[in-house]
Structure 1
Amino acid sequence: MRILIFICLLIPGAAALYAQSPVVKVAVLVYQGMELQDFAGPADVFNKANTITRGAYQVYTVSCTKEVVYTDGHIGIQPDYNMQQLPKPDILVIPGAAISMPDSLSRDSTLLSLIRHYQDSVSVIMSVSSGAFLLASAGLLDQQAATTHFFLADDFVTAFPAITLVKDVRYVDIGNIITTAGATAGIDAALHLVERYSGERIAGMVARAMQYSPRREETWPQAPTGMDYKKDADVVCGMIAIDKNTYASYQGKRYYFCSEICKKTFLRNPGQYTVKQ
């Protein structure tokens, strides 16, 4: 015991590792069709922070019902609580869904009601990727700065002209609301929150445990015909097509692809994919 105390005194910040502090409760919203990485990245950050601090964080999931939720890749997750049972969180994390779903997210009255219900009772609401469409539709981002997945940037600006879109960043922090760019940017924002609550040293330890190099700024890719999902989505797989050299022309229209594999698949039977256009 004396050796442990001696080590804590010698290593700067080591004593803080074992200091008792109020538990930060983190609720992660889960819903049908959400992106797995949007959910798993931030949840893992806070879970590792809980381990390192020996109990300073409590992470749980919440859904509108207690039914199993299936992600975009059809991975099932059993939520810990429904919205009626949810213990009051300090942080509410709102994952995004597939980039083809912003319109349906914006019209999901049940999810919007949940967000509005907790907007004044939590310290921070954090959206990941297209989750910003939920916050914007709930009215939380009016006259504020925000970001979202780069591929949905133009759609976001068109849908929410009262919001200032910030580009070339991983996340935007306006105090009680944090919005992030796509997928792994949720890890950056979660580490940023761990630093806010537990300090730079703990956040650094979490990042090293995940073998992750956090950053705040990042130049966004530019899609060949702009930043419009409807124009630039790969018609074969629905993924982002940002390589201007990977394309095929069919019936007077140019189609871009995320890879040569999708391009070859398209060329075998173009009509199968263009009939959807």
Structure 2
Amino acid sequence: MPQGSSHRVVVIVDENSNPFELGCATEVFGLHRPEVGGHLYDFRLCSPEPRTLMRDGFYTLTGVAGLEAADSADTLIVPNRPDVRVPRRPAVLDAVRRAHARGARLVGFCSGAFTLAEAGVLDGRPATAHWQWADEFRARFPQVEMRADVLFVDDGDILTAAGSAAALDLGLHLVRRDHGAEIAASVSRRLVFAAHRDGGQRQFVERPVPAVPDASLAPVLAWALERLDEPLTVADLAARAAVSPATLHRRFRAELGTTPLAWLTGERAALACRLIERGEPRLEVVARRSGLGTAANLRAVLRRATGLTPTAYRRRFGRA
């Protein structure tokens, strides 16, 4: 049974909430996952009203817990909605403040950052939201550091994600933080979704669907993932793609919103995490097999990627 299934994730659903982000939360945190031993979280929905009209009146949500369920959340996902100018109910904002005061983790998807800012818990802290609302957010909440060009922001006990699919990125990031890279990879495979997109990647990619499929980065990425233990360089990736390093850099920016070196380092860090989780005790072996070279470099990269040393990561996520 996965450790942490007693961790309670509660989603507040309010009038005109977006169904997509609610679906993302349910998919990532709420489903039974026999492939990893059961539920990863104790998942609940709650609402301030017995009947909640969802976005644009497409359907009505009933049969969920009352707002008092938010008071038992270890992680509280706050509501969002397309009209950010309509203030949140005072009862919802009070529930967010109580959760923050007792140390619960707070999560805002898309316009959920407005809910957190209205509650006053983001003052002096970084956050993100959908790029189209960045200017309005800055005007209304100048005391919050709006990072408008990233997928998500992890500020420890408060996390925010940009619009739509970034909710899945942040959800998988939380699974990885709570349960390790191996289980997060399993969940992403079930979702048929990219296993890891770093929060610092850009919200808007210039060419999300390549005009010529054969010219996409997919073949070179697949080739590189099979050779992470080799001393691959950006020049090697460019040669494989039959382009110059400068052209490769532009294509990575356009298609993935990151750089070739950052992508390569991130994939190597994820592989190192999986090797540690599977029980490899020798840091030199983990470093070599993940392409990170030395134990010293492994320690530095892993700390940047996870906030943990290899020893602490093994203690938290390794096999008993």
| TM-score (structure 1 length as normaliser) | 0.67
Report SS of the residue matched to 2:10: strand
Q: Secondary structure at the match of 1:186?
A: helix
Instruction: Map 1:143-182 to 2 at 5 A.
Output: 143-182=124-163
Instruction: Give deviations 1:147-184, integer Å, cap 9, x for gaps.
Output: 01110000001111111111221100100000110022
CA contact (8 A) 1:49 1:194 kept: no
CA distance in 1, matches of 2:107, 2:22: 11
Deviation at 1:23, TM superposition (A): 1.3
Mapped contact 2:54–2:60 kept (Cα < 8 A): yes
What is the rounded CA distance, in whole Å, between the counterparts of 1:144 and 1:38 in structure 2? 23
1:75 to 34, 46, 59: 59
Stretches of 4+ moved more than 6 A in 1? Answer: none
Deviation at 1:189, TM superposition (A): 0.8
Question: What's the counterpart of residue 243 of structure 1?
Answer: none
Cα distance 1:120–1:211, how it changes in 2: closer, same or farther (>3 A)?
Answer: same
Matches within 5 A, 1:9-24: 18-21=1-4, 23-24=6-7
Amino acid at match of 2:114: F
Among candidates 80, 84, 106, match of residue 102 of structure 1: 84
- Distance in 2 between the 1:164 and 1:87 partners? 27
- Tell me the number of residue pairs that the alignment of Structure 1 and Structure 2 aligns: 202
Structure 2 unaligned blocks of 5 or more: 207-320
CA separation of 1:19 and 1:133: change in aligned 2, threshold 3 A = closer
Structure 1 vs Structure 2 CA RMSD: 2.2
Q: Is contact 1:47–1:58 with CA below 8 Å preserved after alignment?
A: yes
8 Å contact kept, 1:91–1:126: yes
Is contact 2:18-2:80 (8 Å) kept?
yes
Say if 1:159 and 1:60 are closer, same or farther in 2 by CA, change over 3 A. same
Give the direction of change, closer, same or farther, for the CA distance of 1:20–1:172 in structure 2 (3 Å limit): closer
Amino acid at match of 1:62: C
Q: Which has a greater percent of helix?
A: 2
The alpha-carbon deviation at position 54 of structure 1 amounts to 1.1
* Displacement after TM superposition at 1:113 (Å): 1.8
- Does residue 113 (structure 1) correspond to residue 97 (structure 2)? The answer is no
- State the one-letter code of the partner of 1:56: L
Counterpart Cα distance in 2 of 1:163 and 1:86: 24
Amino acid at match of 2:97: R
Paired with 2:113 and 2:143, the residues of 1 have a C-alpha distance of 14
Quick one: which of 18, 26, 34 aligns to 1:35?
18
Mapped partners of 2:128, 2:70: distance in 1: 28
Give the deviation of 1:208 after TM superposition.
Answer: 0.8
Segments of structure 1 that go 5 or more residues without pairing to the other structure are 1-17, 223-277
Is 2:119 the counterpart of 1:138? Answer: yes
Q: Deviations over 1:1-48 (max 9, x none)?
A: xxxxxxxxxxxxxxxxx4555511110111110111111112211124
Residues 44 and 67 of structure 1: CA distance in aligned 2, closer, same or farther (over 3 Å): same
Q: 2:166 aligns with which of 182, 185, 189?
A: 185
Paired amino acid for 2:28: V
Residue identity matched to 1:70: M
Identity %: 28
Shift of the 50–64 alpha-carbon distance from structure 1 to 2, 3 Å rule, reads farther
Aligned twin of 1:60 = 44
1:104/1:220 Cα in 2 relative to 1: closer, same or farther (>3 Å)?
Answer: same
Q: TM-score, normalised by structure 2?
A: 0.58
The residue identity in structure 1 corresponding to 2:13 is V
CA distance in 2, matches of 1:33, 1:19: 34
1:163 partner amino acid:
V
Instruction: Name the amino acid aligned to 2:86.
Output: S
Checking the alignment, whether the CA contact within 8 Å between 2:70 and 2:76 is kept in structure 1 is no
Letter in 2 for 1:78: T
